[in-house]
Amino acid sequence: MDTPSVMKARNITIYDIAREAGVSAATVSRVLTNNANVRPEKRQKVQALIEKYNFKPNALAKGLSDTRSKIIGIMVADVRNPFYAEIFVACELAAESAGYTVLLCNSLGETSREQKQLELFHEQRISAMIQLGGRVDDLVSDADYVEAVNQLTNNIPVVVSGKLDGTLCYQVEIDSMKAMDLLMEHLIDLGHRRIALAGGRLDVSSSFQKLQRYKQILKNYRIDFRPEYVIEGGYDYQAGHEAMERLLKCDEIPTAVIAINDYTALGVMNSIQEHGYRIPQDIAVAGYDNTQIATLVHPHLTSIDYQYETFGKMLVGTAVTAVEGGEVSRIQLVTPKLMIRASTMPEESAD
């Protein structure tokens, strides 16, 4: 079945424009890059033709000649997690205004995929890489992976959120100490003294840090640390539900629970409600990430907002500045914000 009418049109090139304008390709290039000096009349003529043919310079050719594509590779654990989706969109917007394109990859928690994605980035000759979650957040880094990332940092800037020891990465971190401070102070101000933590694996650096700070704050307020109030687990709904089931079996049930993220918090909340307790009157609940879920549940969930827009700008800004040879500090912090909602504030629950 032939389709004569649907003939593929060859993409028009800088030479086509040059020929018709009666100038050289170099001149067209100068018009494109804007900065060089071209006689106004010629510039006009060329620009008119560019419009006329809807000419768009070939990014491949451009990338080939300056040995890098203007693409920033972003690797996240899983974009189906709203936390990463928020960050991705923030990065996309930031990259767009800097004239870069972003390439998203999901590592899906598999080291083999992570390695493969690195190769793919290499093939695409990306300008910089941003990585969040996955390997970079493990407390003990995988030697092979560190090696691969190191090789990458020799060629391009790599920006990570999370620790990746032994590499020359730039770090943009959420100030998780500060986040824990905000939550704990909020709860302690409300009179809570029996505060539990639910979910999170301690071999993940961000979760580990949260626990450290939690202990520190208890000490500052001269509140005894109770090991039975720290329930390790995963990062999903189930983890929260299971954690709460165990907490409800404690001799003294906690009066407040901080979950590792909003999904986990939801599990905690459902467990509480199933047992007939009220939130926040009997038990207050708070989460992390301030995803859409926080305002979808009942009561609305107090959560830590990660300032995605700012975060995205800093990630991409760091990458771009480094690519273009500017000075950027190796490590930067984003200050989180506490979003107080009905799950910790009884008087606000009449929403």
Output the CA torsion 129→316→131→63 (10° steps). -20
- Binding residues (CB under 8 A) for a second copy: these are 1, 6-9, 11, 54, 56-61, 63-64, 67, 69, 78-80, 82, 85-86, 88-89, 92, 101-106, 108, 119-120, 122-125, 151, 154-155, 168, 237, 263, 266, 270, 273-274, 292-293, 295-296, 298, 327
Contact between 101 and DNA per CB under 7 A: no
Q: How many CA atoms are closer than 13 Å to the CA of 254, on its beta-carbon side?
A: 29
End-to-end CA distance of the chain: 63
Binding residues for DNA restricted to 50-89, rule: CB under 7 A: 55, 57-58, 60-62, 64-67
The nearer residue to DNA, 35 or 329, going by C-beta atoms, is 35
Nearest to 100 by CA among 60, 77, 127: 127
What minimum distance in Å lies between the beta carbon of 99 and DNA?
A: 12
Among DNA, a second copy, none, partner that 32 touches (CB below 5 to 8 angstroms by kind): DNA
Stretch that binds DNA, among 11-19, 278-286, 288-296, 301-309 (CB under 7 A): 11-19
Contact between 124 and DNA per CB under 7 A: no
Contact between 222 and DNA per CB under 7 A: no
Distance CA 10, CA 24 (A): 20
The three-state secondary structure class of 9 is coil
Per-residue x/- mask for DNA, residues 129 to 168, rule CB under 7 A? ----------------------------------------
Among DNA, a second copy, none, partner that 101 touches (CB below 5 to 8 angstroms by kind): a second copy
Contact between 324 and DNA per CB under 7 A: no
- Token pair 């990338």 is found at 63
What minimum distance in Å lies between the beta carbon of 222 and a second copy?
A: 38
Nearest to 40 by CA among 55, 57, 27: 27
DSSP letter string over 326-350?
----SEEEE--EEE--TTT-GGG--
Binding residues for DNA restricted to 14-43, rule: CB under 7 A: 14-15, 22-30, 32-33, 36-39, 42
What minimum distance in Å lies between the beta carbon of 44 and DNA?
A: 11
Q: Output 20-27 pairs: Cβ under 8 A, ≥24 positions apart.
A: 20/49, 21/45, 21/46, 21/49
Q: How many CA atoms are closer than 13 Å to the CA of 82, on its beta-carbon side?
A: 13
- Token pair 């394109």 is found at 101
Binding residues for DNA (CB under 7 A): 10-11, 13-15, 22-30, 32-33, 36-39, 42, 55, 57-58, 60-62, 64-67
